[in-house]
Amino acid sequence: MSTRRRWAATAAAAVLTAGLLTHPGAGVAAPTTSVDLADTATALVRFRLPDEAMFRDLVAEGADVAARPRTTPGQVMADLVVTGRQLDALVARGAVAVQVIPTQSGGARRVAPLAEDTLQFLQAYWWSSGGRTFLQTQVATSASDDPDVEITVTWTTADGTTGSFPLSRFEDSGEYQYHVALPQRLPARPIRVSATSSLGGTSRVITPAAWPNATPPPQPSGYQRDFIDAYMTPTDISARIRRLARQYPNLVDVLNLPNRTQGYRRTAAAYLGDPAAAAVVVESVKFGDQGLNGVQVRTVDPQRPNSPLGAAYRDRVLTVSLATDAGGKVISSTDDVAAFVSARYPQRFRAFVEDGSAGLPMPVAGPARLDDGLEGTEVPRRPWTVQALRIGAVRDGSRTGVLTYSQEHAREWATPLVTLEFAERLLANYATDAETRSLLNSVEVFIIPTVNPDGANYSFNDFNFQRKNLVNHCTGAARDPARRDSWGVDVNRNYAVGSYFDGYVGGSGNCLSGTYSGTAELSEAESSNVVALAEAHPNIGFSLNVHSYGGYFMWSPGAYKAAGRITLPRPSIDESKYFQDSARRIVGAIAASRETVTWPAYTGPVADVLYSAAGNSADHLYYDLGIVAWNFEVGNDRWNEATQNWDGVGFQPPFDEAHAESQEYADGLMELVRVARDRGAALP
């Protein structure tokens, strides 16, 4: 028996014992007002409480409330699981023990040792992939506050082979969720599993279900696929969009989304001085490509006494003449120079003291050349028009619309390959494949292959881990060019539902954070474009937001508030079932390509299976626009037979892996279209 036993730790007993109340063999003993229970023995006892307040107090204290009978009008009754010691304490507080409710095996005097916790399988699924069998389980313990509970799952196959593995406790936002383990390699299909805990609890024996247990229709012979032969930059994607529009004019419109992005552009900056000693950062107000790259800046000693701080900008050289004292000694500080330049040339330059250089004497330095630091030479330096493909036989809004969009996060290079492969298949097979023709006659498909082209250009040319867009909202020392790879807004944290600005978890107000949410909801062109497209086409009923990596398939809610882990509203039970049933179809279609099985533990609401993502696009589309909105994380972990482990694939895997992802997830998108068609057909 645990020495850490508390009110809360006995919750399991409540469930077990309460269950027995409904058992045919369970009777209720004759009422008694004299309940006698040994100090450490446990029993289920019906109490009459002095008032409601005491009931509320007991709940708040974590009392083990088995039932709340309302059999006696005007009286506050409660069935509590108590030890003899707790019973005495309750009586001392004015409660009257009116009845001992016997367990199946006897009365209060003979209390069987009860399991300390109750275990419940939340999931038990098996599947095959590459000729191997895997099992994944989630188990919840009722001893949810006890961080030391250890849970072990035991499996058995048809031939009697058995084995076991431990689960790990999963907490989120400080709240216990469940115990889970990575999928386990098994020698064969498991026919039963059970769980035991270190507190003595045992679960019911469960027969694991097959996952996802859904198979897409076969692709007919002659079906065309595989239109992807390399990673694609935004420029490549634009060319592909143009080509598709030319090739299939009867099936495609190209939509120019309304908010042009900043473009692959940055302001030009230089250190005036040595950042390791003392320096001021001078930055252009306009972008470097607007004539500011190459401008020089320097400080000079005027070589005369009592000279005021001054500056001149001539022939693309900014010369700052430092102030001197009566003896001709330079007396300007870094702060003086930064403030002076910003005030004197507000339209042209801004300057700030490099972090760590505040209050230092300004050195004679330069000339230094301002530069935007961008390495890409093939990328146009102008605002970018983000484009969408609108695909369908009838493109007038009368058909159910399906929206898919990719590369909100710049570094996720495989994601546009998925959506473009999907577009190509729809278009190439329309003329020859009856199923494709049926789909494009009954739905319209909207595709934004790259939501965040500026960030993507930066990822391809400058910093491959770039996640955000290129808009720099930082001020002051956070604009130091040394921070260049941390600037930008996380497009998928900039939407208007469940946002950081609303107090939800998973976005940041720090401009250097990887999840910086921007200056306001929809402050960015990229996120505004997705919403604008969806709002302009109210026939869009389904959406899929394609990210990488990890192998997830998710829906709302995607965010919660930290205090109490309050999520955005949960879908109804019916709608949750629709999400789950459709997810099985789509996961099944993904698996058809190379037996990549998205794990059941990674299939579900974002907030449950991944993390809280405040202000993400799918929540905006679902809650604000009523769209059935899903999210992919393509790039599932791969089973490594040599190490018996799962290996992550990353954002920019070797192309062969990215290519395989494009094929299997395009299969998943095709199933989404079938889901949309079936839903449309089912509606009146």
Q: What residues line the site for Zn ion (CB under 5 A)?
A: 409, 547
Q: Is the peptide bond before 220 cis (omega within 30 degrees of 0)?
A: no
Q: Which of 684, 578, 569, 573 is nearest to 628 (CA)?
A: 578
Q: What are phi and psi of 625, to 5 degrees?
A: -115, 0
Least separation, in Å, of the C-beta of 590 and Zn ion? 18
Least separation, in Å, of the C-beta of 194 and Zn ion? 38
Q: DSSP of 218-274, one letter per residue?
A: PPPTT-------S---HHHHHHHHHHHHHH-TTTEEEEEPS-----S--EEEEEEEE
Rounded to an integer, what distance in angstroms lies between the CA atom of residue 416 and that of residue 239?
13
- Is there a contact between 47 and 90 (Cβ–Cβ < 8 Å)? yes
In this complex, which beta carbon is closest to Zn ion, that of residue 289 or of residue 485? 485
Parallel, antiparallel, or unpaired for β 400-406 and 443-448?
A: parallel
Least separation, in Å, of the C-beta of 412 and Zn ion? 5
How close are the terminal C-alpha atoms of the chain, in Å? 60
Rounded to an integer, what distance in angstroms lies between the CA atom of residue 365 and that of residue 300?
7
In this complex, which beta carbon is closest to Zn ion, that of residue 547 or of residue 585? 547
Rounded to an integer, what distance in angstroms lies between the CA atom of residue 214 and that of residue 600?
13
Q: Which of 489, 456, 269, 284 is nearest to 373 (CA)?
A: 269
In this complex, which beta carbon is closest to Zn ion, that of residue 265 or of residue 547? 547
Least separation, in Å, of the C-beta of 489 and Zn ion? 14
Three-class SS state of 670: helix
Q: Which of 544, 481, 485, 543 is nearest to 516 (CA)?
A: 485
Least separation, in Å, of the C-beta of 407 and Zn ion? 8
In this complex, which beta carbon is closest to Zn ion, that of residue 542 or of residue 651? 651
In this complex, which beta carbon is closest to Zn ion, that of residue 409 or of residue 585? 409
Q: Is the peptide bond before 549 cis (omega within 30 degrees of 0)?
A: yes
Residues paired with residue 155 on neighbouring β-strands, in sequence order: 163, 193
Least separation, in Å, of the C-beta of 547 and Zn ion? 3
Rounded to an integer, what distance in angstroms lies between the CA atom of residue 39 and that of residue 597?
53
Amino acid at 87: L
Least separation, in Å, of the C-beta of 552 and Zn ion? 10
Dig out the tokens for 648 from the structure.
Answer: 């992550």
In this complex, which beta carbon is closest to Zn ion, that of residue 181 or of residue 546? 546
Strand arrangement of the beta sheet that strand 349-353 belongs to: 267-274, 278-287, 349-353
In this complex, which beta carbon is closest to Zn ion, that of residue 354 or of residue 412? 412
Residue with tokens 């950042």: 275
Rounded to an integer, what distance in angstroms lies between the CA atom of residue 448 and that of residue 133?
37
Least separation, in Å, of the C-beta of 471 and Zn ion? 17
In this complex, which beta carbon is closest to Zn ion, that of residue 547 or of residue 584? 547
Least separation, in Å, of the C-beta of 409 and Zn ion? 3
Least separation, in Å, of the C-beta of 453 and Zn ion? 15
In this complex, which beta carbon is closest to Zn ion, that of residue 547 or of residue 659? 547
Least separation, in Å, of the C-beta of 568 and Zn ion? 19
- What residues contact 411, with CB distance under 8 A and at least 6 apart? 455, 459, 464, 465, 466, 467, 651, 652
Three-class SS state of 667: helix
In this complex, which beta carbon is closest to Zn ion, that of residue 88 or of residue 657? 657
Least separation, in Å, of the C-beta of 73 and Zn ion? 58
In this complex, which beta carbon is closest to Zn ion, that of residue 266 or of residue 547? 547
Rounded to an integer, what distance in angstroms lies between the CA atom of residue 181 and that of residue 190?
16
In this complex, which beta carbon is closest to Zn ion, that of residue 392 or of residue 558? 558
Q: What are phi and psi of 578, to 5 degrees?
A: -65, -45
Least separation, in Å, of the C-beta of 580 and Zn ion? 23
Sign of torsion, CA 22 152 554 674? negative
- Is there a contact between 125 and 208 (Cβ–Cβ < 8 Å)? yes
In this complex, which beta carbon is closest to Zn ion, that of residue 179 or of residue 409? 409
Rounded to an integer, what distance in angstroms lies between the CA atom of residue 322 and that of residue 309?
5
